[in-house]
């Protein structure tokens, strides 16, 4: 099991976003939106045929405390605590020791979600930082 680390400098990231070939935002560009220093960032997936379990995690970061799983939502409605509970369930079966959850959302977050989760990133805030404007 390993986390795939993807490294891009700010110019490469901005170009990839403009071309549409990059659907995520590297944390180093949006460091002011993140609460702790990130050592690694990537994706993670696993498959356990015996237990008939497979999981895919959109973005995984590693900081001094361990791993955080970020779920990326591109829906038209704000992310709610129901999504949080589903992700909590997903990480229980995982061998990677996640200590927290985070979310990225195009439509934002419900009030309950903002109160519950410490790692929330709005898509428009990430793109505004790189492209110099709100999408």
- Please give the share of the chain, as a percent, with pLDDT higher than 90: 28
Strands of the sheet with 98-105, listed across from one edge: 40-48, 53-63, 66-73, 98-105, 119-122
Output the pTM of the full model.
Answer: 0.67
Q: What is the pLDDT of residue 124?
A: 75
Nearest to 119, CA basis, from 77, 59, 39, 49 = 59
Nearest to 38, CA basis, from 83, 3, 84, 73 = 3
Distance CA 82, CA 117 (A): 12
| Better pLDDT: 107 or 96 | 107
**Tokens describing residue 45:** 């997936």
Q: Domain extents for the chain? A: 10-131
Cα Rg of the chain (Å, integer):
15
User: Coil, strand, or helix at residue 116?
Assistant: helix
pLDDT, tens digit (0-9, with 9 covering 90-100), for 59-77: 898 888 999 999 999 889 9
Q: Which of the four CATH numbers 3.30.70, 3.20.20, 3.30.420, 3.40.1350 does domain 10-131 have? A: 3.40.1350
């Amino acid at each position: 099991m390993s986390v795939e680390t993807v490294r891009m400098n700010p110019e490469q990231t901005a170009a990839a976003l403009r071309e549409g070939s990059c659907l995520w935002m590297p944390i180093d560009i949006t460091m002011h939106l993140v609460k702790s220093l990130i050592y690694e960032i990537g994706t993670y997936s696993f498959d356990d045929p015996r237990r008939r379990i497979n999981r895919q995690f959109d973005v995984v970061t590693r900081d001094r405390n361990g791993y955080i799983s970020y779920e990326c939502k591109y829906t038209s409605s704000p992310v709610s605590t129901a999504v949080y509970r589903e992700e909590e369930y997903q990480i229980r079966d995982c061998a990677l020791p996640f200590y927290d959850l985070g979310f990225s959302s195009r439509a934002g977050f419900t009030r309950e979600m903002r109160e519950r989760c410490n790692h929330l990133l709005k898509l428009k805030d990430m793109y505004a930082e790189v492209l110099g404007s709100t999408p």
